[in-house]
Amino acid sequence: MPTPPAPRQGHRPVAVVSFAQADNVRRESHRNEVETLMPVFSELFAATGAGITKDDIDFICSGSTDYLVGGPFSFVTALDAIGVWPPRRESHVEMDAAWALYEAWVALQEEGVDTALVYGFGKSSLGQLSKILCLQLDPYAMAPLWPDPVSLAALQARALIDAGRATEADFAAVAARSRRAALSNPKAQVAYDRTVDELLAEEYVVAPLRTHALPPITDGAAAVVLAAGDRAYQWAERPAWITGIDHRVETHALGARDLASSPSTAKAGQVAGVGAGPIDVAELHAPFAHQELILAEALGLGGGVDVNPSGGALAANALMAGGLIRIGEAAARVMAGTAGRAVAHATSGPLLQHNLVTVLEGE
């Protein structure tokens, strides 16, 4: 049996062995969350080729938020999609499911937990997303000031331009490349082949951001199976080993941050060991086009890296699943053998407040 690459964090090698996602759509008007997740789990388990079922899973962890649904405990009803009887060891984070994967990775460091199911789901279409996202800005004592997420992103983009590190044409180039890449992603929501000049001819939504620099509003779901040690080789021919994983958070006070840089991403990338070897593929969770530029700089990604071959969050932006999808897309390329070493990044909170970096490697 081959030997997994040594992990930089933890003591037990853990790998992504399967990944599946629902179609990313503007509005899933027929299926509820359970009905959306069930086929994802079926595809996920089938993809291992080992005939696994929920009974082979030692730990379950999900990421979602009740603010999207407008009802309490939506993560509990989502468990109906798995069938948690007899009782299962299960947990949930009110965050993007990339952080559920982090919790599962921690659980897998224990003997007795060899496998984990991680999933995230978000129906962003049900509520008024621009208002809902305002509520994460005033979490403690203040009244909502209601700056909408696009206006905030525009402030960040402006800061990047003012720092002399990017132009509006750079934003358009990111969007053009991402949407073109999305043409080969059957799960993508927004894909097209347009030139930078065509995109720059669009009207501003909030200057300096034009339509192309904004993410779509997306309903979606995704899931990953993790396995530790030998079990990974039983469930995947070429597991995507997590050799580094770390997350860092910055203050919620936007005025106290340099919005044009991402020191939390840089630190997480450093701890996860991004720079310890060449990178073939990077899946960066950058909902707004300019954020990809900030992240690539923070991670020190050079010109030879294939950034967001899936199209990234500009092609589909299912809240609470989008970060996990970055890990899944990066892992899928390692498992397919088209990448040897990949970086996946996930973000949470306004304007890249909280960032998680994962390094995935094949043999």
Peptide bond into 208 cis (omega under 30): yes
Q: Which two tokens stand for residue 265?
A: 């991403």
Q: How many residues touch another protein (CB under 8 A)?
A: 31
What string marks each residue from 70 to 109 as x (binds another protein by CB under 8 A) or -? x------x-xxxxxxx------------------------
Pattern 17-56, binding to another protein, x per CB under 8 A?
Answer: -----------xxxxx-xx--x--x------------x--
3-state helix, strand, coil in the chain (%, to 5): 40, 20, 40
Contact between residue 294 and residue 162 where contact means Cβ atoms under 8 Å apart: no
The answer to the question of residue 136 lying near another protein (CB under 8 A) is no
Distance CA 149, CA 151 (A): 5
137-176 binders of another protein (CB under 8 A)? 143-144
Minimum Å gap between C-beta 62 and another protein is 14
Residue 59 beta carbon to another protein: minimum distance, rounded to whole angstroms:
16
Q: How far is the CB of 58 from another protein (least distance, A)?
A: 16
Report the site for another protein in 244-303 (rule: CB under 8 A).
Answer: none
**Smallest gap from residue 306 Cβ to another protein (A):** 36
Sheet with 281-283, side-by-side order of all strands: 90-93, 59-63, 115-123, 219-228, 14-21, 240-249, 354-361, 341-348, 281-283, 306-307
Kindly tell me which of 47 and 78 has the beta carbon lying closer to another protein. Answer: 78
Provide the minimum distance between the beta carbon of 199 and another protein in the complex, in angstroms, as a whole number. Answer: 31
The CA distance from 186 to 281, in Å, is: 19
Whether the bond between 86 and the residue before it is cis, its omega within 30 degrees of 0, is yes
Q: At closest approach, how far in Å is the CB of 31 from another protein? A: 6
The tokens describing 289, both together, are: 């086009």
Helix, strand or coil, per DSSP, at residue 25: strand
Tell me which residues touch another protein (CB under 8 A): 28-32, 34-35, 38, 41, 54, 67, 69-70, 77, 79-85, 123, 125-128, 131-132, 135, 143-144
